[in-house]
Structure 1
Amino acid sequence: MISSAYALYFVFNDLPVYLRLSAAVLFGLVWGLMILNLDRFIVSSMKKNGSRWRELRLAIPRLFLAAMIAITISKPLELTIFHTSIDYEMEIMKHDDIKKQEEALAQRYAGDISLLENSITALQGQIDVATSERNALDHEARIEADGTGGSSRRGLAQIYPLKKADADKAQTELDTITAHNSPLISEQRMQLTKLHMMVDSMQQNIQRGAYDGFDKRLIALATISERNPVIATAGIFVMLLFLILEMSPVLVKLLSPRGPYDDLLEVHEHAFTNYRIEKIAKMDSDTKERLARLGVNVDFGSANTAPA
Structure 2
Amino acid sequence: MKKVTQFFWFCSGANFNLLKKAPTDGNKYFGIGGTIFFTGLLATISAGYALMTVFQSIWYAIGFGIIWGLMIFNLDRFIVSSMRKRAKSWSEWKMAIPRLIMAIILALVISKPLELKIFEREINRKLDEKKSEMIAQSKESLKNGFTEIDALEGQKDSLRSELRNAVGYRDRLQQEYDYERFGTKTDGTSGIIGLGSNAKKKEQQLDAAQQNLDLLNQTYQEKIDLLEQEIQRYVALREAEFTKIQPNIDGFDGMAARIDALSVLTQESQAMKMANLMIILLFVAVETAPIFVKLISLRGPYDDLLDLAEKGVEVYANEQTVKLVKQSEWRQRAFSG
Is the structural similarity TM-score above 0.5?
A: yes
In structure 2, C-alpha distance between the alignment counterparts of 1:246 and 1:22, rounded to whole Å = 27
In structure 2, C-alpha distance between the alignment counterparts of 1:80 and 1:185, rounded to whole Å = 55
1:197 to 233, 236, 245: 236
Percent identity for Structure 1 against Structure 2: 35
In structure 1, C-alpha distance between the alignment counterparts of 2:146 and 2:332, rounded to whole Å = 92
Where does structure 2 lack aligned partners over 5 or more consecutive residues? Answer: 1-43, 163-222
Contact 2:55 2:61 in 1 (8 A): no
Shift of 1:252: 0.7
1:243 to 284, 289, 292: 284
For the pair 1:218 / 2:259, whether they are aligned, the reply is: yes
1:73 to 110, 119, 122: 110
For the pair 1:30 / 2:67, whether they are aligned, the reply is: yes
Contact 2:131 2:250 in 1 (8 A): no
TM-score (norm 1): 0.67
Q: Which has the higher helix share?
A: 2
RMSD: 3.3
Instruction: Report which stretch shifted further, 99-108 or 240-249.
Output: 99-108
TM-score (norm 2): 0.61
2:297 to 240, 253, 256: 256
In structure 2, C-alpha distance between the alignment counterparts of 1:290 and 1:188, rounded to whole Å = 109
Residues 30/186 of structure 1: CA separation in 2 closer, same or farther (3 Å cut):
closer
Shift of 1:72: 0.6
Where does structure 1 lack aligned partners over 5 or more consecutive residues? Answer: 14-19, 129-183, 296-307
For the pair 1:87 / 2:124, whether they are aligned, the reply is: yes
2:146 partner SS: helix
Instruction: Report which stretch shifted further, 204-213 or 22-31.
Output: 204-213
Q: Which segments of structure 1 move beyond 4 Å, counting only runs of 4 or more?
A: 112-118, 184-193, 208-211
**Which digits, 9 at most, give the CA deviation of each residue in 1:207-250, with x for residues without a partner?**
36454322222122112111111111101000000000000100
Residues 88-103 of structure 1 mapped to structure 2, 5 A cutoff: 88-103=125-140
Shift of 1:193: 5.1
Contact 2:103 2:284 in 1 (8 A): yes
1:294 partner SS: helix
Shift of 1:40: 2.0
2:268 counterpart residue number: 227
Residues 52-71 of structure 1 mapped to structure 2, 5 A cutoff: 52-71=89-108
**Which digits, 9 at most, give the CA deviation of each residue in 1:144-169, with x for residues without a partner?**
xxxxxxxxxxxxxxxxxxxxxxxxxx
2:45 counterpart residue number: 2
In structure 2, C-alpha distance between the alignment counterparts of 1:4 and 1:288, rounded to whole Å = 59
In structure 1, C-alpha distance between the alignment counterparts of 2:330 and 2:226, rounded to whole Å = 108
Residues 129-168 of structure 1 mapped to structure 2, 5 A cutoff: none
1:11 to 47, 54, 70: 54
Shift of 1:98: 1.5
In structure 1, C-alpha distance between the alignment counterparts of 2:151 and 2:75, rounded to whole Å = 67
2:315 counterpart residue number: 274
